[in-house]
Amino acid sequence: MPRYLLVLLFLSITPSWAADVRELTWSEMIPPDAPVQETSDAPIHDLSKLADILSAESAPAATQQSPAAPVVPSLDGQLVKLPGYIVPLDVTDDGKVTEFLLVPYFGACIHVPPPPSNQIVLVKFPKGVELDALYEPFWIQGPLKAENSSSELADAGYLMDADDVYAYQQPAE
């Protein structure tokens, strides 16, 4: 008999417990008479303004490589072959690099400024080269164009429409 009573007790308790749930919205958790806070115009990370003040004290940000470093005009139009590392700019759907910058060393070393513009060749290679890793050197071959420009607005430096791009082999000792 007590067992039946227990069951009855459960039956009577459960629904009333369910009815007690109150659906709450997040805004109800803020007291209605809470003071409205003043909006501040300060940007999200205002502390960074400190850097502006400090910058007067510190050295000027990295003296930049001359963006229009002089080029050797006699190289213009010559058919050349040059080894270097590929920094991809434009990549085709199947992962081939069709436009890249050729640099003498790969940019892992951040202790010195990047190479000046006469140490960079902008290469266009419509056939595309498959690049497995950024740290592999390549030969580029083709006619070199040397463009001297005093303004920063034009492509100053060396350009090439490469005829061939192929992996660099360590020369035998």
* Interface residues toward other proteins, by CB under 8 A: 26-27, 30, 32, 34, 36-37, 39, 41, 43-45, 48, 51-52, 54-55, 58, 61-62, 64-65, 67, 87-95, 97, 99-101, 103, 107, 113-115, 117, 120, 122, 131-134, 152-157
Least gap, CB of 2 to other proteins (angstroms): 46
Residue closer to other proteins, measured from CB, 2 or 43? 43
Task: Give residue 77's region: left, alpha or beta (phi > 0; psi -120 to 50).
Answer: left
Least gap, CB of 115 to other proteins (angstroms): 7
Residue closer to other proteins, measured from CB, 12 or 48? 48
Least gap, CB of 102 to other proteins (angstroms): 11
Q: Of 106, 93, 97, which Cα lies nearest the Cα of 137?
A: 106
Strands 121-130 and 157-161: parallel
Distances (CA, A) of 38 to 9, 42, 43: 54, 12, 14
Least gap, CB of 37 to other proteins (angstroms): 5
DSSP bridge pairs for 130: 96
> Cα separation of 168 and 165, whole Å?
9
> Cα separation of 86 and 113, whole Å?
18
Residue closer to other proteins, measured from CB, 3 or 45? 45
Residue closer to other proteins, measured from CB, 5 or 47? 47
